[in-house]
């Protein structure tokens, strides 16, 4: 497979297989002082105020935060959960 790369603003753009575009975007998300921790598998990231939930909810929370949105209240718990919930 041949990949051609370029830069558009702060994003890396490349072409992959026919009909597909590869896009890598650098996004600044402030996770200072937060520990993301799953309660269904053995995984955590960071240190600080805990935000706890199922792995699926934490992954969704990160995806939503990257797009400027929040999770519905009640899916995450812990002292820092309000930071990611509506």
Domain region containing 21? 1-27
Residue 21 shares a structural domain with residue 35:
no
For residue 2, pLDDT over 60 is answered with no
Residue 36 shares a structural domain with residue 67:
yes
Task: List, for residues 59-79, the tens digit of each pLDDT value.
Answer: 888 888 878 888 888 889 999
How many folded domains does the chain comprise?
2
pTM exceeding the 0.85 threshold for the entire prediction: no
Residue 52 shares a structural domain with residue 65:
yes
| Structure tokens given for 86 | 């509506």
Which of 24-28, 42-46, 54-58, 65-69 is the least confident region? 24-28
């Amino acid at each position: 497979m041949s990949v051609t790369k370029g830069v558009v603003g702060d994003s890396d753009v490349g072409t992959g297989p026919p009909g597909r575009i590869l896009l890598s975007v650098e996004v600044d998300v402030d996770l200072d002082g937060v520990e993301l921790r799953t309660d269904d598998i053995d995984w955590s990231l960071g240190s600080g105020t805990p935000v706890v939930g199922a792995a699926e909810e934490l992954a969704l929370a990160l995806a939503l935060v990257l797009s400027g949105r929040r999770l519905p209240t009640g899916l995450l718990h812990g002292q820092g959960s309000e930071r990611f919930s509506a």
